[in-house]
Amino acid sequence: MKKNTLGNTGIEVSPLTIGAWQLGGPLFFDGQPDGHPDPGKENVIRMIHELGDLGINAIDTAEQYSAGESERRVGEALKGRRDDWVISTKFGYRVGPNNVRIDDSSPPTILPSLEGSLKRMGTDYIDVYLYHCAPEVEDLDAGRAILEQAKADGKIRAYGISTGDFQLLETMIGTGNVEVVQFPTSLLEPASNGWKLAQDHGLGTQLRGVMAQGRLSGKYFTKKPEFRGDDNRSNWCADEDYSRFSVLADALPEGMTMGQAAIRWVLDQPGAHTICMGAKNIEDYRSAIAAAEMAALGAELCERLERLAATL
């Protein structure tokens, strides 16, 4: 696949990034599972290797995911292949004693988090290091100094934030704290403010939420997703009528799936660099790769889809 440069960082990434939340096994907070079964370490390593062979060179994880197990599996998968990959990880959200969630990205936590991620992944450097939870505005200068020093020491190549709070993003841009931003965007929720800020300031973009929590995957147009009652995903889908989004698929040309259209729409946006995919199997990734290699949707189809999406 053709590579894109992440903004002004000089880091080249494939248009698809492997999202590793679901690859580390279950994550529990206060007794509530995140809903992802353990796909098995060997299966995860095999899939990462195969996706690398198919042209994907980027992977995104976090210290929080599966309480560090996601990072450990990423590190094991990339042994002997590290220089071929771009690793993105995040700090601030952590799993504390008794599975209590810790939200703390204050300056004193940054270096310990960084060293922990480096150790778990068995690497000397991280390509993209992101705030996972929002920093306090009064901490931004101190945080930037720590991240700049880590960059000077060769421990990270670029830094930024994962956020959907574009007011915070604008503040962080103003204080020089962002080189890469990871934010949610989709045909249903375009996040125009995020796109504009990224373009205006030359930021690298990692895009997530492209399937709009399954609404645009096409998998649930005729069958509603079913989750266990204690699965936190059951909360946001309980009252959703997924079938109403099928009108979007009716507008697509023959041979294009709804999921592929959702991916292609995001990649067609000016300033789009890479999409963080949350797929659990190689078949879904193959379909996504096909979408990344398709021609742009074209103005007429985009306008039609956007008009329809605005009514949903």
* CATH code, 194: 3.20.20.100
Query: pLDDT of 152-188, one tens digit each?
Result: 999 999 999 999 999 999 999 999 999 999 999 999 9
Note the pLDDT of residue 100. 85
Residue 235 maps to a domain: no
In terms of residue numbers, what domain contains 19?
Answer: 4-213+269-298
Confirm whether 107 is domain-assigned: yes
pLDDT at 222: 87
Tell me the pLDDT tens digit for each residue of 105-124: 999 999 999 999 999 999 99
Report which of residues 133 and 99 the model is more confident about: 133
Contacts of 267 (CB under 8 A, 6+ apart): 15, 275, 291, 292
User: Does a structural domain hold residue 260?
Assistant: no
Q: Could you tell me whether strands 12-13 and 4-5 are parallel, antiparallel, or unpaired per DSSP bridges?
A: antiparallel
Task: Answer whether residue 23 is part of any domain.
Answer: yes
Type of residue found at 265: W
Q: The tokens of 84 are what?
A: 């071929």
Among 170, 138, 144, 174, residue whose Cα is nearest residue 159: 144
pLDDT digits (tens, 9 = 90+) for 257-277: 999 999 999 999 999 999 999
80 contact partners, CB below 8 Å, separation of at least 6: none
Q: Which pair of structure tokens corresponds to residue 216?
A: 């645009």
List the beta strands (DSSP E) in 115-252. Answer: 126-131, 156-162, 180-184, 204-208
Radius of gyration of the chain (CA): 19
Q: Is residue 259 part of a domain?
A: no
pLDDT at 37: 79
**pLDDT of amino acid 239:** 76
Integer Cα distance of 168 and 289 in angstroms: 32
pTM over 0.85, yes/no: yes
**Distances from the Cα of 311 to the Cαs of 81, 187, 218, 304, in angstroms?**
46, 12, 18, 11
Report residue 224's pLDDT band, with 50, 70 and 90 as the boundaries.
Answer: confident
Q: What is the mean pLDDT of residues 22-44?
A: 81
So what's the pLDDT on residue 230? 56
**For 7, phi and psi rounded to 5 degrees?**
55, -130
Confidence of residue 28 (pLDDT cuts 50, 70, 90): confident
Does residue 62 belong to any structural domain of this protein?
Answer: yes
Q: In sequence order, which residues have a C-beta less than 8 Å from that of residue 294 and are 6 or more positions away?
A: 256, 260, 264
Burial 210-234, CB ≥16 within 10 A → b, else e: bbbbbbbbbbbbeeeeeeeeeeebe
Residue 256 falls inside a structural domain: no
What number is the average pLDDT over the span 38-58? 96
Question: What's the CA gap between 305 and 138, in Å, rounded?
Answer: 42
Per-residue confidence band for 255, with pLDDT thresholds at 50, 70 and 90? very high
Residue 87 forms part of a structural domain: yes
Residue 231 has pLDDT above 80, yes or no: no
> Is 136 buried (19+), middle (13-18) or exposed (0-12) by CB count in 10 A?
exposed
183-221 confidence digits (pLDDT tens)? 999 999 999 999 999 999 999 999 999 999 899 999 989
CB of 275 within 8 A of CB of 209?
no
Place of tokens 């098995």: 40
pLDDT for residue 35? 65
Helix, strand, or coil (residue 257):
coil
Q: Domain count of the chain?
A: 1
> Residue 147: which residues within 8 A CB-CB, separation 6 or more?
110, 129, 156, 159, 177
Check pLDDT > 70 for residue 134.
yes
128: left (phi over 0), alpha (psi -120 to 50) or beta: beta
CB 113 within 8 A of CB 126: no
* pLDDT band with cut points at 50, 70 and 90 for residue 27: confident
Closest C-alpha among 115, 35, 135, 128 to residue 68: 115
Q: What is the pLDDT of residue 13?
A: 98
pLDDT of residue 232: 59
pLDDT of residue 235: 63
> DSSP letter at 152?
H
Question: What proportions of the chain, in percent to the nearest 5, are helix, strand and coil?
Answer: 40, 15, 40
How far separated are the first and last CA of the chain, in Å rounded?
Answer: 33
